[in-house]
Chains A and B, each alone.
Chain A
Amino acid sequence: MYRYDEFDTTFVRQRVDQFRDQVNRRVSGDLTEEQFRPLRLMNGLYLQLHAYMLRVAIPYGTLNARQMRQLAFIADEYDKGYGHFTTRQNIQFNWPKLPDVPDILEHLADVEMHAIQTSGNCIRNVTADQWAGATADEFEDPRPYAELMRQWSSLHPEFSFLPRKFKIAVTGAAADRAAIAYHDIGLRLKRNAAGETGFEVMVGGGMGRTPMLGATVRDWLQKEELLAYLEAIMRVYNLHGRRDNKYKARIKILVHELGAEEFTRQVEDEYARIDAPRIMPPPQELTRIKTYFAPPAYEELADQSPELARRMNENTDFAQWVDRNVVAHKQAGYAIVNISLKPVGGVPGDASAAQMRAVADLAEDKSLDEIRVTHEQNLVLPHVRKADLYEVWQSLKAHDLADANIGLATDIIACPGLDYCALATARSIPISQDISRRLGDITRQRDVGDLKIKISGCINACGHHHAGHIGILGLEKRGEEYYQITLGGSGDENASIGEIIGPGFSSETVTDAVETIVDTYVGLRQDGETFLDAYRRVGPDPFKEAVYATH
């Protein structure tokens, strides 16, 4: 993992002091709320329905045990004993008091963390494949580049007052777990015929009220050119992105209105004028960063573990958990463990302070001190010896963290919705809980198989409903919540935007509709066909017929 050096430490401390000064000026009245708002937003501090909310950056979703324990401490001390992991690999605390926030930031700085640019119209926390550095299907570890971008985007002098927020995601694997096509900039490390790795650069993807998939503006970018090329993209956007209408201000609208070709031409023109060597870090800097991401101290192990095989034979629950939650590691004898934060009927992404500490302990003992946060609001222990899986499972079980539902119907993504969010038009957490209870029987879930249900509480789509196999969008009409269903969305390497199936459903009937859709799939699937495969084969009609016939 990356470790701060003196430069990073000083930088983050100065940022805390700067924010403390800004808070003091707000409290004393020197700053109006209007002036303070963009300043607090640049440090992740929102004013929600009931209180402030602080969003803490977890850069590209990586944490160590010490950091997780500090998050638990903050949850206990300043929240109500909980933290909420978000779809952008961050964590949110819901009840901080304004004068306490600088202290919280101080606690974060103690463990090399911050809340810089987790909100506001600036470059947000860079996200990445949650299995980076561990997965078997990787061309190159994307984390050094994510870290490089984290540094480069932090307090960027030119790009801190953009037309709108800006999200970058990066992956280095064949399978896309970072949903790069749905980001303002999506970066894919790939390998060419000569065996070198470079970036494919996509621009203009996004969710919100106008969902779009990113367009490839550069099929091949030398890795060394990354920051200079990003600067060109950002400058074109900063100068020409629309500022007259908040809903048209994302870069996707600029790309759409100019056309991908013209947008690309403008970026390339700008890039040609940039003095790239001045901007790019010297080679030793990338080497310095890469050193931190060198493989951890794996033991030389046989790939198969007789202990694991025996335990799986003896214990069906354990075997099912291994089947769903454990995936292949690139190192022989190791596995990647996914920890579900989606207990049946629970709040997606919520973890108690005790659970955070339990995960921290396990990371330290059994995962070479590493934890990851996924954009699907789960956690990962990336480096667990296969022989330790049973013990890990037992510990997780003791903390209600052993749900064997990764990728299944109850592994639902939901945004905070009307329970917390000031922008919400409908509740999303209670809907997710309801659906989770309805489809919660594990035998049924396993039979239904891979299914991504995603719920947003308003058009802003923080719950990624456009990318849900089943997407649910909460809206409001004449004081009544209602829910629109989309089908066929996907955020993976074959990304697609879900299509609306028809009129919405009330909060009482939306769960029935989802169940009907699931049952319809079960009825029409062919051998081994997943929900998404089946939908792509048959289209929306059979689902529409079933849903609107019965409701």
Chain B
Amino acid sequence: MPLIKDGQFVADSWTVLEDEAEIPPNGDVIVSLERYISEVDVLVRRVGRVGVALENTADPEEIAPHLSDIDLISLTFPAFTDGRAYSQARQLRHHLGYGGELRATGSVLADQAGFLTQVGFDTFEVPSGQSIDVWNTASGSVTLAYQRGYEGSRKTRDKLQTSPAPQLTPDCAAVAGQTVPA
């Protein structure tokens, strides 16, 4: 699957390991949560990085003790209307302070790009055929966000310094203790 990072297609160094597959001695591998937990000793001692794929029903809390050993977490969207992974991402970034790569997989469409970035995803596995221009247009089409405390480059009102003072009607101004220029 093509991988997008920072608005460009990038090479993917990671291999997804099926649960039955043998663990290679080196290279970057993504394993399931179950496998990670049961074979953590082997996984952390090999050469190469380890990533974990979480089902969207998993509680991120389950990998909390291991986060410092994990370089990538992939979260999945079985359908693009199934939004559980947005909250998982938020919990990983915010509650658990996870700072590694956060990858979105599954049904990942251009129109979600902005939201995904805001909750803390930084790489996106997209369906083949996805045009990078359409992706970038869709993800950059809204540059503002009302929600404070989310990630990404969308500006909140507090950061948009150009915002002028509200235009007050005389009666409003009187209540607010301000005067209105005639």
Chain A contact residues, CB within 8 Å of chain B? 3, 5-7, 10-11, 14-15, 17-18, 21-22, 25, 30, 35, 38-39, 121, 151-152, 154-162, 235, 238-239, 243, 273-275, 278-282, 285, 288, 291-292, 294-297
Chain B residues whose C-beta falls within 8 Å of the C-beta of A238 in the assembled complex: 83-84, 86-87
B148 and A18 within 8 A (CB): no
Contact status of A278 and B81, CB under 8 A, knowing A7-B157, A291-B166: no
Contact status of A6 and B162, CB under 8 A, knowing A38-B81, A158-B90, A278-B148: yes
Contact status of A161 and B176, CB under 8 A, knowing A6-B164, A278-B149, A288-B166: no
Show 27 A/B contacts (Cβ-Cβ < 8 Å), sorted by A: A3-B166, A7-B157, A7-B160, A7-B163, A25-B134, A38-B80, A154-B146, A155-B145, A157-B116, A157-B119, A157-B147, A158-B150, A161-B81, A162-B83, A235-B91, A238-B86, A243-B84, A273-B94, A274-B94, A278-B148, A278-B149, A282-B158, A288-B166, A291-B176, A294-B172, A297-B170, A297-B171
Instruction: Name which residue of chain B comes closest to A11, CB basis.
Output: B144
Residue in contact with A11 in the complex, picked from B134, B146, B169, B170, CB distance below 8 Å: B146
Q: How far is the CA of A235 from the CA of B91 in the complex (A)?
A: 9
Chain B residues whose C-beta falls within 8 Å of the C-beta of A159 in the assembled complex: 83, 86
A-B contacts counted at CB < 8 A amount to 125
A235 and B87 within 8 A (CB): yes
- Using an 8 Å CB-CB cutoff, how does the interface string of B136-148 with A read, 1 for contact, 0 for none? 0110011111111
Q: How far is the CA of A66 from the CA of B111 in the complex (A)?
A: 33
B147 and A17 within 8 A (CB): no
A35 and B109 within 8 A (CB): yes
| 9 further A-B pairs in the complex, CB-CB below 8 A; given A160-B86, A279-B148 | A5-B166, A21-B141, A121-B81, A151-B146, A152-B146, A160-B115, A273-B94, A282-B158, A294-B171
Chain A residues whose C-beta falls within 8 Å of the C-beta of B46 in the assembled complex: none
Chain B residues whose C-beta falls within 8 Å of the C-beta of A291 in the assembled complex: 166, 168, 172, 175-176
Chain B residues whose C-beta falls within 8 Å of the C-beta of A275 in the assembled complex: 94, 149
Residue in contact with B175 in the complex, picked from A5, A11, A18, A294, CB distance below 8 Å: A294
Chain B residues whose C-beta falls within 8 Å of the C-beta of A15 in the assembled complex: 142
B144 and A10 within 8 A (CB): yes
B83 and A14 within 8 A (CB): no
B interface size (C-beta, 8 A): 49
Residue in contact with B82 in the complex, picked from A151, A152, A161, A278, CB distance below 8 Å: A161
Task: Output the residue of B80, B81, B119, B158 with the most chain A CB within 10 A.
Answer: B81
Chain B residues whose C-beta falls within 8 Å of the C-beta of A288 in the assembled complex: 166
B146 and A161 within 8 A (CB): no
Q: How far is the CA of A49 from the CA of B111 in the complex (A)?
A: 27
Q: How far is the CA of A182 from the CA of B168 in the complex (A)?
A: 36
Chain A residues whose C-beta falls within 8 Å of the C-beta of B81 in the assembled complex: 38, 121, 161
Chain A residues whose C-beta falls within 8 Å of the C-beta of B51 in the assembled complex: none
Instruction: Judge whether B88 is part of the interface by a CB distance below 8 angstroms.
Output: yes
A281 and B148 within 8 A (CB): yes
Chain A residues whose C-beta falls within 8 Å of the C-beta of B167 in the assembled complex: 3
Chain A residues whose C-beta falls within 8 Å of the C-beta of B88 in the assembled complex: 239
Instruction: Name which residue of chain A comes closest to B155, CB basis.
Output: A7
A17 and B141 within 8 A (CB): yes
Chain B residues whose C-beta falls within 8 Å of the C-beta of A39 in the assembled complex: 111
Instruction: Name which residue of chain A comes closest to B148, CB basis.
Output: A279
Chain A residues whose C-beta falls within 8 Å of the C-beta of B169 in the assembled complex: 297
